[in-house]
Chains A and B, each alone.
Chain A
Amino acid sequence: NAGVTQTPKFQVLKTGQSMTLQCAQDMNHNSMYWYRQDPGMGLRLIYYSASEGTTDKGEVPNGYNVSRLNKREFSLRLESAAPSQTSVYFCASTQERAMNTEAFFGQGTRLTVV
């Protein structure tokens, strides 16, 4: 099983460039999440999608946009990258309203903005 797949794994951007981080899950989960993790820190929630067609802001949404393209895919877009957005980005998914509420995380996208 692939689980949660993130692409790309590594990316270097120049300040002001845009890019989209892709996330796909094959577990038929309803909810998906985007987190960022700065060095030595815990994960901070950027955006989440409780179900297909809905998205909501998390703790640190500024500078990001998201799209829940379908049930499988949840993308994160940086319109104008800034050095402060250098981080490791994790996508996660979970099946809500189920007894087993385990969340599955991708392996991360390491983004550097220079």
Chain B
Amino acid sequence: DAKTTQPNSMESNEEEPVHLPCNHSTISGTDYIHWYRQLPSQGPEYVIHGLTSNVNNRMASLAIAEDRKSSTLILHRATLRDAAVYYCILRSITSGTYKYIFGTGTRLKVLA
């Protein structure tokens, strides 16, 4: 399974944009890039996913490098409720097994 590398922690001021990086240099051509976040004492929740093109949804934007070896999750205006651990995950659609392998994630702290 391809691995991802993320910084252990990041800080942001409230109402400012946050860019959370992820390196996945061993990504294969069919691996989707998924982002989940885990709020304190809760199960992970889906944020966004993409394959090659940048993606936007109501929660965030996902910017994918042209060579797909890295990606960045963008929270446009961080709020205190965005304080969580953010996981970048690669998910293959050709292996026949659709499991999600989590790394250690990035703990985002939002300062009021």
Contact = CB atoms under 8 A, between A and B. Distances in A.
Interface stretch (B21-29, B39-47, B65-73): B39-47
Interface in A68-97: 90, 92, 94, 96
B46 A102 contact: yes
B98 A96 contact: yes
Given A42-B104, A101-B49, A90 B43 contact: yes
Contacts of A101: 32, 34, 49, 91, 98
Interface of B is mostly: loop
Nearest to B87: A42
Interface of A is mostly: strand
B87 A48 contact: no
Question: Interface extent on A, as a size class?
Answer: 20 to 34
Given A41-B104, A42-B104, A43-B102, A105 B44 contact: yes
A107 B44 CA distance: 9
Interface string B83-110: 0010100010000111111111100000
B46 A33 contact: no
A6 to B, nearest CB: 9
A113 interface: no
Interface of B: 32, 34, 36, 41-46, 49, 85, 87, 91, 96-105
Interface of A: 4, 31, 33, 35, 41-45, 48, 50, 56, 58-59, 90, 92, 94, 96, 101-108
Given A42-B104, A43-B102, 4 more contacts: A43-B44, A48-B99, A101-B98, A107-B42
12 contacts: A33-B99, A44-B102, A45-B99, A56-B97, A59-B101, A92-B44, A101-B98, A103-B100, A104-B46, A105-B44, A106-B43, A107-B42
